[in-house]
């Protein structure tokens, strides 16, 4: 079974979407449209395919996200108070659940994050999960080995649940293809970028890896239109 992203051009690059139950990494530098990709995945998921979604933001406030979404014709406010789509600013949740951790806004351990996710999907029946970003979670850990261990555990447990996940991760700069430890635990790696192609500024998307399915390996241009990301799945960039 494939989980359609609903993003124009994206599902044509794979066998119709993400294989169900997988963990998919979206990587790219700041401004490369990672958050927008995630918003579309969750929004379309419900509007077009009737799948409930959970969007966990660790970087941007709910207000910022709903405002940005509106400029692309996506109205997340209509889901307020429903289980259809939960758009959650984890920084606010953290205050409510009064975690005993004296740390900065939005920073949370993987254990706390997982507890919250499992409880929420049990309550709502969400089928799509987005975490923006896993890099923000990494800030909690001063010991990289501990982060690695916890991330393995986190992903293993997530995979026991019937949910298809996008993890967003920040690349340090454009063209950076070192993904850090997230790459080992994810089933797929999708890189968003922007670059100068023969004097022209182009946004690009490349699927580097996707387990359990065939996928297009080439770099494709995409546009940000009034409806959001639109990928040209025919044209390639070398
Ligand atoms: N209405 C719009 N039309 C076209 N581009 C936009 C619009 N609003 C925002 N953008 C661009 O969309 C990009 C996507 O940003 P975002 O998804 O937040 O990136 P990231 O999460 O990778 O940092 C930004 O670089 C911004 O310049
Ligand atoms: Mg972002």
Question: Quick one: which ligand is closest to 59's CA?
Answer: 2
Question: Which residue has the least CA distance to atom 12 on ligand 1?
Answer: 33
**Could you identify the atom of ligand 1 that is nearest to the CA of residue 29?**
22
CATH 3.10.20.740 assigned to domain 2-6+19-200? The reply is: no
Which residue has the CA at smallest separation from atom 27 of ligand 1? Answer: 31
Structure tokens at 94: 């953290």
Rounded to a whole number of angstroms, the distance between the first and last alpha carbons of the chain is 31
Using a CB cutoff of 5 Å, list residues around ligand 2, an ion: 35
Tens-binned pLDDT, residue by residue, of the chain (238 aa): 899 999 999 999 999 999 999 999 999 999 999 999 999 999 999 999 999 999 999 989 999 999 999 999 999 999 999 999 999 998 777 666 555 555 555 567 899 899 999 999 999 999 999 999 998 888 888 888 899 899 999 999 999 999 999 999 988 777 666 667 777 789 999 999 998 888 889 999 999 999 999 999 999 999 999 999 999 999 999 8
Q: Tell me which residue of 173, 154, 175 sits closest to 163, measured CA to CA.
A: 154
Please tell me the chain's helix, strand, coil percentages from 3-state DSSP, rounded to the nearest 5.
35, 25, 40
> Ligand 1 site: residues with CB under 6 angstroms?
28, 30-36, 71, 224
Distance in angstroms (rounded) separating the CA atoms of residues 204 and 223: 9
Per-domain residue ranges for the chain? 2-6+19-200
């Amino acid at each position: 079974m494939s989980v359609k992203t609903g993003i124009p051009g994206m599902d044509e690059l794979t066998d119709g979407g993400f294989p169900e139950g997988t963990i998919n990494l979206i990587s790219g530098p700041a401004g490369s449209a990672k958050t927008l990709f995630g918003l579309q995945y969750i929004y379309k998921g419900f509007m077009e395919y009737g799948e409930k979604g959970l969007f966990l933001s660790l970087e941007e406030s709910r207000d910022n996200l709903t405002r940005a979404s509106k400029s692309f014709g996506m109205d997340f406010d209509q889901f307020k108070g429903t289980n259809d789509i939960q758009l959650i600013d984890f920084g606010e949740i953290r205050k409510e659940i009064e975690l005993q951790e004296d740390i900065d806004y939005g920073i949370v351990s993987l254990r706390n994050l997982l507890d919250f996710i499992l409880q929420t999907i049990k309550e709502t029946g969400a089928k799509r999960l987005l975490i923006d970003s896993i890099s923000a979670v990494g800030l909690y850990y001063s010991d990289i080995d501990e982060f690695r261990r916890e991330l393995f555990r986190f992903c293993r447990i997530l995979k026991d649940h019937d949910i298809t996940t996008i993890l967003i991760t920040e690349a340090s700069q454009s063209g950076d293809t070192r993904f850090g430890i997230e790459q080992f635990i994810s089933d797929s790696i999708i890189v968003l970028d922007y670059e100068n192609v023969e004097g022209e500024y182009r946004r690009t998307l490349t699927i580097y890896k996707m387990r359990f399915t065939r996928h297009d390996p080439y770099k494709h241009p995409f546009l940000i239109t009034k409806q959001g990301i639109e990928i040209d799945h025919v044209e390639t960039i070398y």
